Structure 1
Amino acid sequence: MEFVKSLFKAIFITFLVLSVIVTAGAALFVISFKKDFEDIERRTKEIIAKIESENV
């Protein structure tokens, strides 16, 4: 019975650690994607402003 308890405890701890790692990885991915998206948005606005100034 003690073996089964320790096995479940080990599995639970493993899942807990993995969930923390996955959550941290997802957070870093979102932060990185947001930074790239803001850069693309800024460049698009610059291009639009340049085109509009040339058309005047």
Structure 2
Amino acid sequence: MTTFEARRALGEMVEGLEPEHVDEVEEMLEEAEKEQAEQAQAQQAQQDDEQDDSDT
């Protein structure tokens, strides 16, 4: 499940959950999104490096 899908699912269930649990899940989602962004940035940097190497 992607973080996008998880946020959508959480939004559908939020009324039946304890507010503390919602906060915990939102924190986990924020951390997962941060990690995904870092991974995407690292992957882009690697692709850029590979492109630079192939240009020379």
TM-based fold match above 0.5: yes
TM bucket, shorter chain: 0.5 to 0.7
Q: Tell me the equivalent position of 1:36.
A: 39
Structure with the higher helix share, 1 or 2: 1
Considering only aligned residues, what root-mean-square deviation do their CA atoms show, in Å? 1.5
TM-score (norm: length of structure 1): 0.68
Larger relative contact order, structure 1 or 2 (CA cutoff 8 Å, min sep 6)? 2
Give the ranges of 4+ consecutive aligned residues of structure 1 lying more than 3 Å apart after TM superposition: none
| Percentage identity across paired residues of the two chains | 2
Stretches of structure 2 lacking an aligned partner (at least 5 in a row): 1-14
TM-score (norm: length of structure 2): 0.68
Stretches of structure 1 lacking an aligned partner (at least 5 in a row): 1-11
- For residue 37 of structure 1, give the secondary structure of its aligned residue in structure 2: helix
Q: Tell me the equivalent position of 2:18.
A: 15
Q: What residue identity is the alignment partner of 1:18?
A: H
Structure whose CA Rg is larger: 1
How many residues get paired? 41
